[in-house]
Amino acid sequence: MLRAPLALLCVLLMGSVNAQTGALTVEATQADIANKQTEYDNYNLALQTQMNQAKQMKEQLSKLREQSKKLEREKAIALEEMNSQFQKMIDDPSLDIASARLTYTESVNAHKQNKLDIQNQLAAVQEKEREVASIRVSKHSLLNTLESLKEQLNNSRVERLYSQFNKSGTLSVQHAVDCDLEEVISECIRRTEQLAKQKASKRYLDKIFTELSESATASAQRNAADTSVKVESVKVTNKGFSGVAKYSVSMDVGLKGNLTRKQACQLLELNERYCVEFPGGGEVAKKTESQKVKYDANLMYELTIRSNVFDDEVYIDGVSYGSTKLSVMLPAGEHSVEVIKLGYQSYVEKIELTENRLIRVNLNKDAQSFAKGEKIQDILSNDKQGPRLVAIPAGGFQMGDITGRGLDNERPVVSYKIEASFGIGEKEITVGDFGQFIAATNYVTVAEQGKGCAYYSNSEPKYDMQMNWRNPGYEQDNDYPVVCVTLDDAKAYVDWLSTSTGKTYRLPTEGEWEYAARAGSDLDYWWGDAIGSNNANCGWCGSKWSNNSASPTGTFKRNGYGLYDVIGNVWEWSDTGSDIVSVVRGGAWNFAPSLARVSTRLEIASDFRSNYIGFRVARDR
């Protein structure tokens, strides 16, 4: 059973709702956003307060430890003085050494008390750090809820406009025409009635726009959206000729708005992804037998693929078929096609084969052309291949919230320099990859130690003791990204990878991760400033996995450096170089698109594990 944010997903089920319901949904969502924003701001303040307190407590702990050194010295001096006085007393029994003994006793007691204070302060610091970690987890969940509500708001706005526009009504109109002397009477009557219906349609369309909840916004885009109404009925109430050849007609015209959801997005100036149907519900979307598209497996069609380059390689449903020109007979149904060549941007397409088909592929050179040998795949100690890496060249870039739409922790934008080239995983580490590590080492993840794995439900992470990387709460295969792993679990894997291959593997630093993910772009997503639809697997991103589960690695297009899934699918652990702050990057299948931007960073506890966090590896050249 998939655990997912049911309350947030159900709004995505497109359906006919009346205008009043749509309006209430928009208003209720706006109120929820305001409340969640206040709650999020309070969490930020609480987190900062707790972090400041933790800092002060650590400073106090440092002072106590410094004090311990001072007291140790004082105790040693007092002991030396007391021993000296004792030696003198041996020669002169009348000598009073009580003062020296008292000084030593006081120094010993002071040292003991200091040790106790250190122990108490250390326990208090550890408890405070747990509080900070807990607030971080709650904060990132609340942030996703807030961004998801904004997605819900846009969907509700579309639904409200769609409902308000496509309403039925009746208008009474009158129209008169001076018939042309050479015009047949029946033609004049027909023309008059047609003009009357056009008049009614224009007035009704104007009336619709005037009465829309977002009238000003929609009216400004009216011409661009090419909106219309439909005439449903006509009842002539009066007609006749007057004067020489003047014909007039009165009629009641039944009309209905004729707006598509795509046009609704145009009127509201929203991305078209808000106007397509998304998978909804809290469980993995599964088509029923009646909903599935059925193909006759006995029908075979010829697929021909041609490209503009030589020595490319064609993969159909993950199997290599050699280079183009290629013709192959395939069974009817859905197939994935990928054409790749080193130094060129890959061609990836999902096709539905219902007839013979020719695909012409035009491969474009990468902005960064890789020389031969810059795809890396080391051999493990068991003679199997390790994860495939892509060589990333040295260089510099602007790191952080370049577009100004990010979180506070993405600012300020800084210049970051990659001093040396490095290798980074072409894909996220898969269940199959991780399984090899487990088989070789018998490693037991934190989740498997009876501590479970978190899933996102009702706007917060909740732990299920039965969930782990083998059972993340949704169906998965070996090519899915491994999840339910902590930062230490990920580091254990890269340590094994280093031992098994003899190479230096590690997690990518934040700078390396963002540099590789951007692939030379300074936009929010490597392909542009808008998430679009079906470009990645994130919440409300238009794929069949959105809000349902992770997707097989490599399902979507590579970025300019040849990396898959740097936007969405699962969050990825990075190496911050800090024992205090741990960060994941890249967004996930159940997080809002705004949190999948290449600069987004979530600070969480290093022992947090969930079914939406995984990792990819890096390797020194």
C-alpha span between 586 and 571 (Å, rounded): 5
- Cα 482 from Cα 433, distance rounded (Å): 8
Token pair 């870039």 is at which residue?
397
> What is the pLDDT, as a whole number, of residue 113?
95
Domain ranges in the chain? 6-164, 167-258, 300-361, 375-620
Angle 487-501/431-441 helices, nearest 10 degrees?
70
Q: Which residues pair with 460 in a beta bridge?
A: 457
d(Cα 167, Cα 208) in Å, to the nearest integer? Answer: 9
**Rounded to whole angstroms, what are the CA distances from 235 to 171, 178, 186, 231, 232?**
10, 22, 18, 11, 10
Query: How large is the angle between the packed helices 261-268 and 98-165, nearest 10 degrees?
Result: 120
CA distances from residue 44 to 129, 136, 226, 589, 593 in whole angstroms, order as listed: 16, 9, 45, 25, 21
Beta-bridged to residue 95, according to DSSP, are none
pLDDT confidence of residue 370: 38
Q: Which amino acid is at 530?
A: A
Residue pair 549/570 in contact (Cβ under 8 Å)? The answer is: no
Instruction: Classify residue 555 by burial, with Cβ atoms within 10 Å: 0-12, 13-18, 19+.
Output: buried
Separation of alpha carbons 285 and 549, rounded Å: 9
**CA dist., res. 336 & res. 243, Å (int):** 72
Q: In CATH terms, is domain 300-361 a member of 2.60.40.1120? A: yes
**HSE (side-chain half, CA atoms, 13 Å) at 378:** 24
The label of the residue with tokens 């990075």 reads 574
pLDDT digits (tens, 9 = 90+) for 531-580: 999 999 999 998 999 999 999 999 999 999 999 999 999 999 999 988 87
3-state helix, strand and coil shares in percent for the chain, rounded to the nearest 5:
40, 25, 40
Q: Under DSSP, is residue 206 helix (H, G, I), strand (E, B) or coil?
A: helix
What is the pLDDT, as a whole number, of residue 399? 96
Vertex 604, ends 131 and 551: CA angle to 5°? 140
Q: Within a 10 A sphere around the Cβ of 493, how many other Cβ atoms?
A: 26
Residue 320, helix vs strand vs coil: strand
Query: DSSP labels for 400-434?
Result: S-TTS-S-GGG-S-EEEEE-S-EEEESSPPBHHHH
Q: What is the domain class of 375-620 according to CATH? A: alpha beta
Query: Is the domain covering 6-164 a CATH 1.10.287 domain?
Result: yes
pLDDT for residue 298: 57
Determine the pLDDT at residue 366. 62
Indicate the angle between helix axes 185-211 and 98-165, nearest 10 degrees. 170
SS (H, E, C) 92-146: CCCCCCHHHHHHHHHHHHHHHHHHHHHHHHHHHHHHHHHHHHHHHHHHHHHHHHH
Please, what are the averages of pLDDT over each run of 10 residues along the chain (621 residues)? 33 33 75 92 91 93 94 93 89 88 93 94 91 86 90 93 94 90 82 87 92 95 85 91 86 92 92 67 35 56 84 83 83 86 83 85 65 69 89 92 91 92 95 97 96 87 94 97 98 96 95 95 94 93 94 94 96 91 95 96 93 96 76
- Contact call for residues 529 and 596 (beta carbons, < 8 A): no
Taking a C-beta distance cutoff of 8 angstroms, is the pair 556, 587 a contact?
no
- The answer to whether 409 touches 140, Cβ cutoff 8 Å, is no
Alpha-carbon distance of 600 to 103, in angstroms, equals 59
Q: What is the pLDDT of residues 144-197, one digit of tens each?
A: 999 999 999 999 999 999 999 999 999 999 999 888 877 788 888 888 888 888
The per-residue pLDDT for 559 is 93
Q: For position 23, what pLDDT does the model report? A: 53
